[in-house]
Amino acid sequence: MKIKNLSLKDLAIFLSDYLSKRGIETVLSGGACVSIYTKNKYLSYDLDFVLLSYVERKKIISVLESIGFQEEGRHFRHKDTPFIVDFLAPPPSVGEEPIGKITEITKGNMVLKLLSPTDCVKDRLAAFYHWNDRQSLEQAILVSLDNDIDMKEINRWSLKEGMQDKLETFTNALKKRKV
C-alpha cells in the first residue's frame, strides 16, 4: 500500500494491521483516537501505538523500515506522510488502570485496534487531571459530544484518580456544549 496521501485513520488502520500480521500487537491511543472519533475536528499528527505485550525495539525498527519508515529518536517518520509514529510500553492503561474494551475498526480485511471512546476520554482527561493540559480537556469534550460515552465509568474512574474537582470542570464544560 502506498503511504502517500493516506489520512491519519487510513494510515493507522494500515499500520495496525501490518504490524499485527508480523507479530506486533498494538492499540492506538492518544490524539490519533481523538482525530478518528471526532472525524478530524481535532487533528493529531502523532500515531501513538501502545504495545499489548513486550516487543524488542529492533523488531519494530525492522518491520517499519521494510515499508519506508525511519527511526528518528524515539519516533518513526516516512518521507511520504506528515504523521509521526510512536510506540509506548505495555500494558495499555489510563491513569492507574488498564484500559477496558478495545474497539476495532475495519477497512476491507485490515483491522485497527484502538481505545474505546470512553477510554479515549479517560486518556485525554488523565492529561488534564495530572498535567492541567487544557487542550486535552477540549479533546475529551469533543469525543464526548460525538460518541456514546459511559459517563458512570468516567465518574468512577475520575473519583478513583482523586480528581473530583477537575471532573466537575469537565462535566460542567460538557453540559454547556450540549445545550
**Average pLDDT, stretch 151-179?**
96
Q: Tell me the domain boundaries of the chain.
A: 8-115, 117-178
Q: Is the pLDDT of residue 159 over 80?
A: yes
Whether 179 has a pLDDT exceeding 80, the answer reads no
Region 162-178: what's the mean pLDDT?
96
State residue 35's pLDDT score: 98
Going by C-alpha positions, the residue among 113, 179, 125 that lies closest to residue 149 is 125
Residue 15 pLDDT greater than 80, yes or no? yes
Q: Is 115 a residue whose pLDDT tops 90?
A: yes
State the pLDDT at residue 178.
85
pTM score: 0.95
Whether residue 1 is predicted with pLDDT greater than 80 in this model: the reply is no
pLDDT the model gives residue 96: 84
- pLDDT tens for each residue of 38-88: 999 999 999 999 999 999 999 999 999 999 999 999 999 999 999 999 999
Determine the pLDDT at residue 99: 94
Q: Domain spanning 8-115 has what CATH number? A: 3.30.460.40
Separation CA 114–CA 50 (nearest Å): 9
Is residue 5's pLDDT more than 80? Answer: yes
pLDDT at residue 95, rounded to an integer:
85
